[in-house]
Amino acid sequence: MYIAVTGAAGFIGSNIVKALNSRGDYEVLAVDDLTQGDKFVNLADCDIADYIDREAFLRGLDEGTFDGVLAAISHQGACSDTTETNGRYMMQNNYQYSRELLEYCTDEEIPYIYASSAAVYGAGPEFREDRACESPLNVYGYSKFLFDQYVRRNWDQRTAQVAGLRYFNVYGEREQHKARMASVAFHFFDQYRSSGRVRLFEGSGGYADGEQRRDFVSVEDAVAVNLFFLDHPGKSGIFNVGTGAAQSFNDVAVATVNACRTHANEAALSLGDMQQQGVIEYIPFPAELRGKYQSYTQADIGALRASGYDAPFLTVEQGVARYVEKLLSRAASY
């Protein structure tokens, strides 16, 4: 029996494949669209049973090719570009694709774990898995919200586990292909290594410079939550995946810079030191993001904890330091 991972060459998908390998699971069907060929590097150190193009996978499901051989589908494939304005493209990739997989899993009575997003909440201020809290600011968030609504409407028809995971701001290894949509930790690392400074947005939404706050969650933790649900197929629902503690973009910048400085045997700097020395530079808030930007997010993880997931989450300081060490190690190998 195979675990099918869609978006397997992407950020979270490839980390799930690697984590499955790390615990001895190699019967993985990696499903993706490798039009962006450089994503292959995310799977280069993974062992998989087979690679299948997304469209071929959908045809195979329709034709019965995979009937009786799938233990579960971990659906991580999506267009995650929050600035994408082509709604037709977004709905095909994020809504219709997710629906087809859910319907197959329902017919075949196999677990279905899928990626949702904190983008469904929009400007907040509450981030709880409840319709009253949901008001997306862009078509990406709407595509994720609409599928969550489809799941809710068809909840009584499920025949096996259905678990939707609303990722907050995930950062970590194997995100380099995401370009401008990579995490701020990734961009801060690149900026500091190339110029000795990092760039943050000026204040917005009532927040001071760099003090906009998000729930930044390490991909290590996001993967651990996925494995928890894979291992507990009796648990269903829609769950926030965040730390439950918002931290500022300034916190991410300080953690990134100091991780680099520690690696270079240099003394850590405070936020004030970095501002005074010009290590942190604040740039104008982009006009095109006004009204479409989440200045604050903080996951309510009550439902996740109630499901039985009790592992601690890495703080920005812990998670970013671990991530930077891996980035530096990779840079050294090149």
Q: DSSP states of 246-276 as a string?
A: -EEHHHHHHHHHHHHHHHTT-----HHHHHH
**62: in domain:** yes
193-222 per-position pLDDT tens digit: 999 999 999 998 899 999 999 999 999 999
Same domain, 203 and 226: no
Q: How confident is the model at residue 81, as a pLDDT?
A: 81
Q: Record the pTM.
A: 0.96
List the catalytic residue out of 112, 114, 140, 142: 140
Same domain, 45 and 159: yes
Q: Are residues 116 and 36 in the same domain?
A: yes
Q: Which of 178, 207, 235, 292 is catalytic?
A: 178
Residues 180, 101, single domain; the answer is no
Flag whether 236 is in a domain: yes
76 phi/psi in degrees, rounded to 5: -110, -10
Q: Give the pLDDT score at 71.
A: 98
What CATH number does the domain containing 263 carry?
3.90.25
The answer to whether residues 207 and 222 belong to one domain is no
Copy the structure tokens of residue 182: 């990579």
pLDDT at 251 over 90: yes
pLDDT digits (tens, 9 = 90+) for 13-57: 999 999 999 999 999 999 999 999 999 999 999 999 999 999 999
CB 40 within 8 A of CB 9: yes
The reply to whether 87 and 195 lie within a common domain is no
**pLDDT for 50-100, tens place per residue?**
999 999 999 999 999 999 999 999 999 998 888 888 999 999 999 999 999
CATH of residue 43: 3.40.50.720
In a domain, 334, yes or no: no
Same-domain check for residues 9 and 126: yes
3-state SS assignment for residue 24: coil
User: Structural domain tally of the chain?
Assistant: 2
Residues 86 and 187 grouped into a single domain: no
Residue 199 has a pLDDT of 97
120-142 per-position pLDDT tens digit: 999 989 999 999 999 999 999 99
| b/e map 67-80, b = 16+ CB within 10 Å | eeebebbbbbbbbb
Q: To the nearest whole number, what is the mean pLDDT of the chain?
A: 96
Longest CA span, the chain? 63
Predicted pLDDT at 334: 60
Residue-wise DSSP of 60-127: HHHHTTTTTTEEEEEE------TT---HHHHIIIIIIHHHHHHHHHHHHT--EEEEEEGGGGTT-S--
Q: Is 140 a catalytic residue?
A: yes
Q: Evaluate if residue 331 carries a pLDDT over 80.
A: no
Q: Return the percentage of the chain with pLDDT > 90, whole number.
A: 92
Residues 131 and 279 in one domain: no
pLDDT in tens, 134-170: 999 999 999 999 999 999 999 999 999 999 999 999 9
Q: Is residue 139 part of a domain?
A: yes
- Residue (of 197, 209, 189) closest to 277 by Cα position: 197
Which pLDDT tens digit goes with each residue over 297-326? 999 999 999 999 999 999 999 999 999 999
If asked whether residues 135 and 95 sit together in one domain, one would say yes
Q: Is 178 a catalytic residue?
A: yes
pLDDT-based confidence at residue 293 (cuts at 50, 70, 90): confident
In terms of domains, do 156 and 252 share one? no
pLDDT for 230 beyond 80? yes
Mean pLDDT of 103-126: 96
- The per-residue pLDDT for 292 is 78
14: in domain: yes
The pLDDT, as a whole number, for residue 333 is 67
| 117/182 same-domain check | no
**Distances in whole angstroms, Cα of residue 149 to Cα of each of 167, 237, 321:** 16, 12, 37
User: In terms of residue numbers, what domain contains 199?
Assistant: 176-212+247-294+320-329
Residues 270-280: tens digit of each pLDDT: 999 999 999 99
